[in-house]
């Protein structure tokens, strides 16, 4: 059985690269999470998980992460990604991610609305939402990523 994470941070980044995958790698580096192994998780924030602006994660660590990303090789196209984390007063929370062709502000608004809906569907009281997004206009080949990184 895996341990339950106790803290969460959010990160976002964007970058250009020669290839889609190298643009994605550079976006991860820009977000400050390029040297860890992301284990993609879905939408539940563990109970008693606290938000921290940042915390160190050792390079190569297997790291539970909810993330949205988008890569494009269409010059002039605007791409965006955002992450939203909803906290309850005393129970588990919800994480929502989004990627699309819009502004950073539109992406952040979308994840915030999705967090609110997820709490409503569960009949839970939402205490706070933390949202972070990124957008960029593609020059040649670009990627954006937004993530909620969970740690112990």
Using DSSP's 3-state secondary structure scheme, residue 45 falls into strand
Instruction: Please say if 48 is a catalytic residue.
Output: no
40 Cβ contact partners less than 8 Å away, ≥ 6 residues apart:
65, 66, 67
Quick one: tokens of 20? 């889609």
CA–CA gap between residue 63 and residue 54 (Å, rounded): 14
Instruction: Please say if 99 is a catalytic residue.
Output: no
Task: Name the catalytic one among 72, 97, 99, 135.
Answer: 97
CA–CA gap between residue 55 and residue 34 (Å, rounded): 14
Pinpoint the alpha helices (H) of the chain: 20-31, 104-122
Tally Cβ neighbours within 10 Å of residue 127.
13
Smallest CA-to-CA distance from 100 within 131, 71, 84, 79 is with 79
Quick one: tokens of 34? 């390029």
Task: Name the catalytic one among 16, 43, 61, 88.
Answer: 43
Instruction: Please say if 42 is a catalytic residue.
Output: yes
Instruction: Please say if 88 is a catalytic residue.
Output: no
Task: Name the catalytic one among 35, 37, 52, 117.
Answer: 37
Task: Name the catalytic one among 16, 35, 42, 135.
Answer: 42
Catalytic residue set: 37, 42-43, 97
């Amino acid at each position: 059985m895996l341990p339950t994470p106790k803290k969460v941070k959010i990160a976002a980044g964007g970058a250009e690269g020669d290839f889609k995958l190298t643009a994605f790698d550079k976006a991860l580096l820009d977000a400050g999470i390029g040297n860890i192994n992301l284990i993609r998780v879905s939408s539940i924030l563990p109970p008693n998980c606290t938000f921290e602006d940042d915390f160190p994660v050792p390079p190569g660590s297997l790291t539970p992460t909810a993330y949205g990303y988008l890569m494009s090789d269409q010059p002039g196209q605007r791409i965006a990604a955002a992450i939203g984390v909803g906290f309850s007063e005393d129970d588990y929370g919800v994480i929502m991610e989004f990627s699309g062709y819009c502004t950073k502000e539109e992406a952040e608004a979308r994840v915030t609305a999705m967090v609110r809906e997820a709490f409503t569907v569960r009949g839970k009281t939402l205490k706070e939402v933390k949202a972070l997004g990124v957008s960029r206009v593609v020059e040649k080949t670009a990627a954006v990523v937004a993530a909620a990184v969970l740690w112990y």
